[in-house]
């Protein structure tokens, strides 16, 4: 936390102006008389010196807590403030009651006032202006702490999001490599095409990794994924891809749509005539609506959903908090995953 003497001085000036100068003017019988009184050279000199002394009370308490707050106890700092105030009261006495009387022939108190009375009377002002400095310090400290906590939260969210993405991308790429491994043993010509598509996916994953990407890039990788899966199987998987709305200007978080499709291929029936894997994407009213529906394959015993959708759910919570809709539902023989996110 940086010292902010300028704001402290401004806060003090406003407080001093309201509680001391303006208050006296308001409480006087005549505003004109009060103005004439306060514009006398003697009163202007005393007002200036008093203002400087009062600011020293505020400044000293602020600086003491700024330096020792996290190093010493609260009461230790209060004791330091007390002794600092005593020193400043003594300085005020020598300036106004000794120096002013010697140079100008007047002081702030009646001549001959006892030192005990002088010191005790001053502690009314010591208290309020030292408290002002302490309050200002803790206000600044609290504000700075909140900002640091917010930054820490954002950084933790960013790190967690990066971790989730790093888990998602290799998960997908390892599956794709397994597909190509199978192709090498069955059909080397198709393997060449698969390697070309995989290189596109690798470029997308490794060289285009950003906070967000164009929607068309994500759709292109979905098509690559479907093609890779199609090459791996003798019979072409039954897949429907439906896109409605303008997609060219839309940007979304990278790899936020692909896990739906990957999950459908992993756990669904790929050659169902009655229930093909259906991918629906709609852009309307600044909302991206997306769903993937597949028939559940009982022979595939892995947990429906899997790592991809689990990670996706966590990513969505970090990216959109409550400003999105995400659902996964198995009903009868169909598994439906839906997503709605805002777009600009």
pLDDT digits (tens, 9 = 90+) for 13-24: 888 888 776 666
The pLDDT mean for the chain works out to 81
Same domain for 60 and 13, yes or no, is yes
The pLDDT score that the predictor gives to residue 193 is 76
Domain boundary residue among 89, 117, 148?
Answer: 148
12 and 118 belong to one structural domain: yes
Indicate if 171 and 312 belong to the same structural domain.
yes
What pLDDT sits at residue 290? 97
> Rounded to an integer, what distance in angstroms lies between the CA atom of residue 192 and that of residue 339?
34
**Does 164 share its domain with 218?**
yes
State the DSSP code for 296: B
Same domain for 184 and 253? Answer: yes
What mean pLDDT comes out for the span 242-271? 89
pLDDT of amino acid 1: 78
Q: Into how many domains does the chain fold?
A: 2
192-197 mean pLDDT: 79
Task: Give the CA angle between residues 251, 252, 257 to the nearest 5°.
Answer: 135
Domain boundary among 89, 122, 148: 148
Q: Structural domain of residue 276, as residue ranges?
A: 150-342
Cβ atoms of 329 and 185 within 8 Å: the answer is no
Mean pLDDT lowest for which of 99-103, 163-167, 193-197, 257-261? 163-167
CATH number of the domain enclosing 272: 3.30.565.10
- Based on the fold, state whether residues 122 and 258 are members of the same structural domain: no
Same domain, 298 and 328: yes
Pairing of strands 277-284, 287-295: antiparallel
Pair (184, 144) in one structural domain: no
Q: What is the mean pLDDT of residues 202-212?
A: 65
pTM score, whole prediction: 0.54
Beta-carbon contacts of residue 316 (< 8 Å; ≥ 6 apart): 256, 324, 326, 339, 341
Give dist(CA 277, CA 274) in Å, integer.
Answer: 10
Q: Which of 62-76, 280-294, 306-320 has the largest mean confidence?
A: 280-294
């Amino acid at each position: 936390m940086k010292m902010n003497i300028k704001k402290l001085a401004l806060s003090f000036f406003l407080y001093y102006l309201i509680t001391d100068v303006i208050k006296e003017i308001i409480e006087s019988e005549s505003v004109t008389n009060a103005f004439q009184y306060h514009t006398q050279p003697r009163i202007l000199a005393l007002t200036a010196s008093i203002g400087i002394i009062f600011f020293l009370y505020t400044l000293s308490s602020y600086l003491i807590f700024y330096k020792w707050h996290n190093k010493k106890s609260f009461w230790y700092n209060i004791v330091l403030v007390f002794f600092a105030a005593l020193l400043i009261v003594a300085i005020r006495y020598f300036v106004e009651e000794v120096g002013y009387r010697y140079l100008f022939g007047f002081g702030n108190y009646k001549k001959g006032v006892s030192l005990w009375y002088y010191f005790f009377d001053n502690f009314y002002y010591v208290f309020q202006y030292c408290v002002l400095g302490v309050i200002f310090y803790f206000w600044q400290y609290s504000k700075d702490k909140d900002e640091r906590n917010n930054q820490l939260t954002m950084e933790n969210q960013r790190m967690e999001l990066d971790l989730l993405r790093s888990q998602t991308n290799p998960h997908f790429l390892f599956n794709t490599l397994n597909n190509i491994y199978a192709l090498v043993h069955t059909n080397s010509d198709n393997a060449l095409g698969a390697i070309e598509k995989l290189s596109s996916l690798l470029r997308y994953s490794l060289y285009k990794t950003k906070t967000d990407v164009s929607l068309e890039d994500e759709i292109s990788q979905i098509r690559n994924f479907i093609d890779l899966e199609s090459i791996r199987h003798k019979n072409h998987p039954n897949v429907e891809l439906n896109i409605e709305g303008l997609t060219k200007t839309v940007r979304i978080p990278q790899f936020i749509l692909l896990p739906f499709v990957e999950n459908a291929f992993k756990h669904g029936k790929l050659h169902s005539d009655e229930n093909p894997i259906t991918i629906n994407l709609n852009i309307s009213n600044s909302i991206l609506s997306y769903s993937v529906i597949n028939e559940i394959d009982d022979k595939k015993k892995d947990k429906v959903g899997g790592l991809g959708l689990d990670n996706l759910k966590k990513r969505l919570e970090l990216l959109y908090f409550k400003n999105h809709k995400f659902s996964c539902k198995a009903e009868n023989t169909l598994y439906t995953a839906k997503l709605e996110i805002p777009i600009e």
